[in-house]
Chains A and B, each alone.
Chain A
């Protein structure tokens, strides 16, 4: 059995008095592709935001490549992680957002280069080379000097992917990356994700409403409902053969 790259151990999350996640247990293997589906408000975004350190779990542990993400050891005791510890562990994780979050004051190339240069301290020439290669891979080799405002939504999202990929994360998170796009632009973004997935070595967690896509790309599909993982398994089992009623009625809305 391979070691997990990410483990959620009884992770709970409350916002104020509402407990949104009521005990998440999840192991993700290196290179595993996990699709997360579920009704809006079921906590899909929250699950991956906790892994990206954008939300702190209320209780439980998240282990990334052997390190406890939100806790560190101090005098033999587990204490809440400080920013230094978070930075160390976070380096393995990358994320693509629903609304791209590109840096509007930088060119496309600089969007990709800035983190390798400033965070990973990669030599500038090398970072530039890597960024150009990555942008070519997502089909934007001709837009290096453009600014985000000059691109379509689909192009922006592809830049966002290149920007995250160039950091070579071990786990990449996708939060409904096509839901802010015009329908005709969804295809080009999904196509890029498929290519990335095919390359293999990186684990991917994809929150998505594209069921067809989830079936194609995922090794495992999770159905999130009422704050827990209500159903999980290979795509065919979850998307076609499940007897879970809530899941069936959820999926029903995607068939027309």
Chain B
């Protein structure tokens, strides 16, 4: 068994095999992220409920999920949840990974939303009230369009952080790139090249994303220093479009 020197043959043989897992890895990333974005909103709502003991309970649960390792949560969902009487049931590795990692990261996303909402000036709420907006319109027309855009860079950061945790899914058998590299390694007794490929793929994907998010962040900062439009479509624009069609 030769473990030391680099072999290009192995590299080129392993590369296409491992690349096949890229779709799964990326698909899992996107699905988990979407799950976290949506479920994060649920946390934002739950941690703002009026009834104090409930609010404390929800915040405590959030804190608990955040301070437990995602790997443990993943194992729990995949191995322990099906054993729970009455409510428990088994899920595929892919679905388990979406839920396990998605719930974990949703607690962070929920905090991001909350910080964005809290940053909206008190006067905006009061103006919405003075103009007699319904609760729904207050949120959809006034608060959310101001609360979310400044948090986009933060949300982007969590996407990258989450992307780097996605290989955890290989531990429950999701056939992503790490899992395939591992199998290749086990079958051929060579780990150097396949794992290098995994590292390269992650670097190639997350480094440009990080740069992109950095740029986005600077752009957002500039925009919000000047308090300029936040990109939501305006009423009169909608109308102009309506008039054209």
Q: Which residues of A are at the interface with B, using a C-beta cutoff of 8 A?
A: 52-54, 83, 87, 90-91, 93-95, 97, 99-107, 109-110, 113-115, 117-119, 124-125, 128, 144-145, 147-149, 163-164, 167
Contact = CB atoms under 8 A, between A and B. Distances in A.
24 contacts: A52-B126, A52-B130, A53-B129, A83-B135, A87-B132, A93-B130, A97-B127, A101-B123, A101-B124, A102-B127, A105-B232, A109-B236, A113-B235, A114-B235, A115-B132, A118-B134, A118-B141, A124-B235, A124-B239, A125-B239, A128-B239, A145-B236, A149-B226, A167-B132
Contacts of A53: 129
Contacts of A100: 123
A115 B133 contact: yes
B145 interface: yes
Contacts of B84: none
Contacts of B135: 83
B126 A101 contact: yes
A114 B141 contact: yes
A83 to B, nearest CB: 7
Interface string B220-235: 0000001111101011
Given A97-B123, A119-B137, A128-B236, A105 B131 contact: no
Contacts of B228: 147, 149
Given A119-B131, A164-B130, 18 more contacts: A52-B126, A54-B126, A93-B130, A103-B146, A104-B146, A105-B146, A106-B234, A107-B234, A110-B234, A114-B141, A115-B131, A118-B137, A119-B133, A124-B235, A124-B239, A128-B239, A147-B228, A167-B132
Contact of A103 (B127, B134, B226, B236): B127
* CB-CB nearest 9 A-B residue pairs: A101-B123, A101-B127, A115-B131, A149-B227, A95-B130, A105-B230, A110-B235, A118-B137, A104-B227
Contact of A147 (B130, B146, B229, B235): B229
B154 interface: no
Interface in B180-238: 226-230, 232, 234-236
A117 B234 CA distance: 13
Interface residues of B, number: 27
Given A99-B123, A101-B124, A149-B227, A107 B236 contact: yes
B236 A91 contact: no
Contacts of A163: 131
Contacts of A101: 121, 123-124, 126-127
Nearest to A84: B134
Interface centre among B132, B142, B234 (most CB of A within 10 A): B132
Nearest to A52: B130
A97 B126 contact: yes
A105 B126 contact: no
Which of A90, A97, A110: most chain B Cβ within 10 A?
A: A110
A243 B135 CA distance: 49
B236 A113 contact: yes
Nearest to B235: A110
Nearest to A115: B131
A84 B50 CA distance: 18
Nearest to B238: A124
A83 B137 CA distance: 14
A163 B146 CA distance: 19
Nearest to A98: B123
B188 to A, nearest CB: 57
A166 to B, nearest CB: 10
Nearest to A106: B234
User: Interface centre among A95, A101, A102, by most B CB within 10 Å?
Assistant: A101
A109 B237 CA distance: 11
A145 B228 CA distance: 12
Contacts of B146: 103-105
Contacts of B229: 105, 107, 147
Contacts of B134: 87, 118-119
Contacts of A83: 135
Nearest to B234: A110
Q: Which one of A90, A106, A109, A164 has the highest number of Cβ atoms from chain B below 10 Å of its Cβ? A: A106
